[in-house]
Amino acid sequence: MRRKVLIAGVSGAGKTTLLGRLRESSPQDWGTFEDLDQLILKNHGKGCKDLAALIEKVGWETFRLWARQALEGWLKEEENGVLALGGGALSPLVWQLYGHSRKLKFCFLQVPFEVAWSRLIGSLTETRPLVLQGQFKMRQLFEEREAIFTQISWRLDGTKDSSALAKEFWKELE
């Protein structure tokens, strides 16, 4: 049976970091490990140095449309896979469409707001799009998105070491 896992969480939860650890520790036959934001950047970001530049160029509405399209395309792929969703990719509509699917497993990487914000502003390697909107707006989004994320029954503590989280992740899928 094909298995697809979607990792959800706010920006700064550590989804991309966990994805890397999962890739390193996966069973050989597992399949693909993708980051939705990176798929969008690869498919639509020609000439943009990072995600923030792409969103600045096309706007959030177009970016969210591309996110839904990329998610739908990834879900149609035949092989097993893990996909780290962007912080806002799990919208109420996406949850309504896929949240109760038996073909998907959702994993919520949960962190307190302060941890997520600290990670976002501490990232020296890239400009994070939500940081540009400020802490107040980020907290609002955090609270809105938590309402969706808390409907996910499988939760991991995103404040833990990513290697420990990867072990917990694979144990849950055994």
DSSP conformation letters of 35-67:
EHHHHHHHHH-TT-SSHHHHHHHH-HHHHHHHH
**What pTM value is reported for the model?**
0.90
* Segment 99-123, tens digit of pLDDT: 888 889 999 999 999 999 888 887 6
Residue 123: the pLDDT is 66
**How many domains in the chain?**
1
* Segment 116-168, tens digit of pLDDT: 988 888 765 566 666 777 889 889 988 988 889 999 999 999 999 999 999 99
Q: Could you tell me the residue range of the domain that residue 159 belongs to?
A: 4-173
Q: What is the CATH number of the domain that holds 83?
A: 3.40.50.300
